[in-house]
Chain A
Amino acid sequence: MQTIQKLEIRQISRVFGANAALHEFTLEIDGGMFVSLLGPSGCGKSTALNCIAGLLDLSAGEIRLNGQPIHHLSPEKRGFGMVFQNYALFPHMTVTNNVRYGLETLHMPKSEQDRRIGWALDLVQLDETEFGRRYPAQLSGGQQQRLALARTIALEPGLLLLDEPLSNLDAKLRGEMRLEIKRMHQQLGLTTLYVTHDQSEAMSLSDLVVVMRKGRIEQIGTPQEIYNCPRSLYVADFMGYSNRLPVTIQSREGNEWQVQTEAGVTLRATTTFDGSNDWQPGQSVLACSRPDDLTPEQPLNRIGGIVHLVEYLGKTFETVMRLTGDESVQLLMQSAEAPTPGHDISAGIAPDRLLLFPFDPAFAGKLQRHDSPEARHA
């Protein structure tokens, strides 16, 4: 298989009827990288993956592998491997034959096939002597997942495409398999494109994260960049910036701004994107933060409120506080000690962790909590 030095995806689009499922998607991947496409369902991430795999034709754009255009090639000629969300194992073939299926197309001697089957099953820790003669239906969900990986990796594909491979597993197994995928990537250095709606998966696995929205790329960056410096409210929302405080611009000092809440508290905040330079004093913006950045221990940027609800998260307590002076605004904060509901409380936030975004009524005011604890902690 052709290894990847560089995969260039240039402005590819895919139109279904009147809808652009994917719009001018552009991405460059260097060999050995682990890239995630992250977004909610319907954001176009699977469409992008299928277009790169060749399972969907492009409406526009081009894909180049090491400088050669490949977007006109049928999927079997691209030398990419793909693991499907439902694994797509061949139910009428044994475990061994599922892995052999792809190797047979490479026209290698049977002894070499056997060697590769053994190697791949070993790699995913599926014992060939125990499971080799079983059929997929006789495997557990986790084992099916391992087999799906082995079947693809046995071919040593130039690019490994993973389409939400963990979403059918339970939470414990998901964590295990996530580590497995990470280990395999480190061991083999396979260039990998990973589609997921789970931000914690994307964060923990990737070198590069592509956040998508409505068929377009919203932000590309390392996990740290995406997490610490989301460039839009949408990405911030996805990264768990659930505190949104409507504030008014007062003054500016470089990248740092002085803003005032509706109750008259003055705060210092930063922006993480470039389009904000024209904000004028008096303009309304949203100041966003993650609950774990808003703590009583932080001396700067203090905000006062009343403890409304307290939730124990394991290591910390998460508190819904209602702002003093404007009880319609609720913020989430975290503390080591449990606050008492009904009491006054105050918490602070570092100015570089309080991010300013243009005012968007769709996101303003309401406290939108991420339901899964995982999403909150990531």
Chain B
Amino acid sequence: MLKTTLSAPRPRTGLETLVLLLPALLLVLAIFIAPFLFGLNLSLHTGYRGEGAATLTNYTQFFSDPYLVDSISITFQVALPVTLFTLFISVPLAYFMRRGIRFERGITTLLILPLTLGNVMVAESMLMYFGRQGWFNQALQSVGLIRQPLVLVHNWFGVELALFIQNFPFVFLMILGYLSGINPDLERASRMLGASQWRTFRRVILPLALPGIAIAFCLNFVANFSVFPSAVLVGRPDDQTRVLSVMAWRSTYEQNNPPLGTAIALTMGVIELLVVACVLWGRSRLARGATLGGGKGA
């Protein structure tokens, strides 16, 4: 017994490794790679089912039609502000809650609630609450703060609001996890070295949380960039919130051109990947030591 436990583990053969990997590999192949290749193939053909020889027609059509190309910048205008705003709210809030606060459980539950509701529910509730005759406007009017009802839905703002409500809890909890994971003695040490609370935040907390904030940004940005239900339900999908996913949907189901729709969807994916790659590249440059020192809690 002793001998077997002490002997070095036998190196695995290639075949064994493959067999062990197989279930995961199959899953990835079936639900990600295969549909992706199918879509890629479809986008390189024309006609409803994608007949004929491979061609870049869909991509050239997309990039040469100003109406279609414009939706890229529209999508950025929808996704970027709300992503940054969500981070801007989450980081300070998480900072003040990092050591735990009173009623923390209740507050956290409240924050997580929107996650459980789903996009459509949030959007529909927003229509009721923030609409022209909704409670929000009625309340503001009744106390005399405004005369005319504010237009808060069926425009760009409505989508921003919906995306914020949906994604804030997720971003907040992620960043809270990162901030509360930073050794509290580092803060104390900084104070003992003569640094104010603000300087401590700027020079110690923020740099150490930056890798986490970057990841939160990426995930949130991707979610916001591919927004669809909110853009349709509480936005103006024909104008201000004519995002890429709306265009892809329209091409596929209104114009019966699935290959073009797929080309748009893939373009959207590539743009997301580019943004994520940029952020992660910047993160690896900025936070060299922060990731290095994770281990010993030093």
Contact = CB atoms under 8 A, between A and B. Distances in A.
Interface of A: 53-55, 74-76, 79-82, 84, 86-94, 101-102, 105-106, 135-138, 144, 151-152, 155, 161
A124 to B, nearest CB: 16
Contact of A105 (B185, B186, B199, B293): B199
A363 to B, nearest CB: 36
Given A53-B192, A76-B196, A155-B193, A86 B185 contact: yes
A195 to B, nearest CB: 14
21 contacts: A55-B188, A55-B192, A75-B188, A80-B192, A82-B192, A88-B183, A90-B186, A90-B204, A90-B293, A91-B292, A91-B293, A92-B287, A92-B289, A92-B292, A101-B195, A106-B194, A137-B293, A152-B192, A152-B193, A155-B193, A161-B192
Given A135-B292, A137-B289, 16 more contacts: A53-B188, A54-B191, A55-B192, A76-B192, A76-B196, A84-B185, A86-B185, A86-B297, A88-B185, A90-B204, A92-B207, A92-B208, A137-B292, A137-B295, A144-B296, A151-B193
Contacts, number: 96
A299 B195 CA distance: 63
Interface string B246-278: 000000000000000000000000000000000
A64 to B, nearest CB: 20
A309 B188 CA distance: 49
Nearest to B296: A137
Contacts of B66: none
A55 B189 CA distance: 10
Contacts of B199: 105
Q: What 10 A-B pairs are tightest by C-beta distance, nearest first?
A: A91-B293, A102-B193, A105-B194, A88-B189, A92-B289, A88-B185, A92-B290, A82-B192, A75-B191, A137-B293
Contacts of A84: 185, 188-189
B89 to A, nearest CB: 25
A90 B190 CA distance: 9
Question: Could you tell me the dominant secondary structure of chain A's interface residues?
Answer: loop
Contacts of A81: 192-193
A167 to B, nearest CB: 14
Nearest to A79: B194
A152 B194 CA distance: 10
Contacts of B183: 86, 88
A91 B186 CA distance: 9
A342 B189 CA distance: 58
A255 to B, nearest CB: 46
Q: Which of B185, B207, B297 has the most CB of A within 10 A?
A: B185
Given A105-B199, A135-B293, A91 B208 contact: yes
B298 interface: yes
A18 B95 CA distance: 28
A101 B190 contact: yes
Nearest to A138: B292
Interface in B166-212: 183, 185-186, 188-196, 199, 203-204, 207-208
A16 B89 CA distance: 32
A55 B193 contact: no
Nearest to B211: A92
A88 B186 CA distance: 5
Nearest to B192: A82
Interface in B110-166: none
